[in-house]
Amino acid sequence: MTYRAGSFTICTVNRISQENDIPKGRSRETRRIIRKESKMAVTEVRFESPIEKDIEKKIRDRLFRGFNNWNGGYDGWLEWCNTLYEPDACYNIPGPRGQVRLTLQQYKDAMGELFKHFTMDLGNFENMIIKDDWCAIRYTVKIRNLDTGDEILQNTMEFVKFKENPEPIGVRVVEGWALSDISLAGH
């Protein structure tokens, strides 16, 4: 099934996730980050690099806040974009012939089209590596097709470059690259 969103075609994959798709029984160090204001829905990093610099702490905090705003639905994520991304940020997503570089507005539009047909719940972080103003994260996404009811479990990796700004703006994404084992969007 495909959907058109301007110049983008969004392709769906019909694969129902199975309980055995989720790795079990691995010994992992689990770290929980609990904010003083409230406990966030996404709180866990299974494998995390040492956080040594102030900018790395700020990036980690931004990632957790970003994930939890995403899990609040499209409107929450869209508003959060003003905090998470630089106005001229770019995002690179998988397309049918390789990565496609989108402006922030193109990325927002493509995600808006996806949210019309899917629920996408970001899971906890499997890996988080932050070094200076770069990070690499790996996580799972539980995706439900609103039209068919089918569910899949997508494994995603992102590489993200941040820019540090004075407060209250803080660290924001300059450019990101996302790769998933099941692609939902193409050019």
Residue 131 maps to a domain: yes
pTM over 0.75: no
**Which domain does 174 fall in, by range?**
2-15+40-186
Based on the number of CB atoms within 10 Å of its own CB, is 4 exposed (0-12), middle (13-18) or buried (19 or more)?
exposed
Report the pLDDT averaged over residues 58-78: 85
Confidence at residue 163, expressed as pLDDT on a 0 to 100 scale? 97
| Better pLDDT: 19 or 133 | 133
Residue 81 maps to a domain: yes
Task: Please report, for the domain that includes residue 64, its CATH number.
Answer: 3.10.450.50
Residue 78 maps to a domain: yes
The DSSP secondary structure of 120-163, one letter per residue, reads EEEEEEEEEEEETTEEEEEEEEEEEETTT--EEEEEEEEEEEEE
Query: CB under 8 Å to 6, separation ≥6 — which residues?
Result: 106, 109
Residue 95 maps to a domain: yes
DSSP alpha helices (H): ranges in the chain? 54-70, 74-84, 104-117
Number of domains in the chain: 1
Is the pLDDT confidence value at 11 over 50?
Answer: no
Q: In whole angstroms, what is the distance from residue 31 CA to residue 175 CA? A: 27
| Better pLDDT: 99 or 32 | 99
Residue 62 maps to a domain: yes
Report the pLDDT averaged over residues 48-72: 89
Q: pLDDT by residue (tens digit) across 146-185?
A: 998 999 999 999 999 999 999 999 999 999 999 999 866 4
Confidence at residue 41, expressed as pLDDT on a 0 to 100 scale? 62
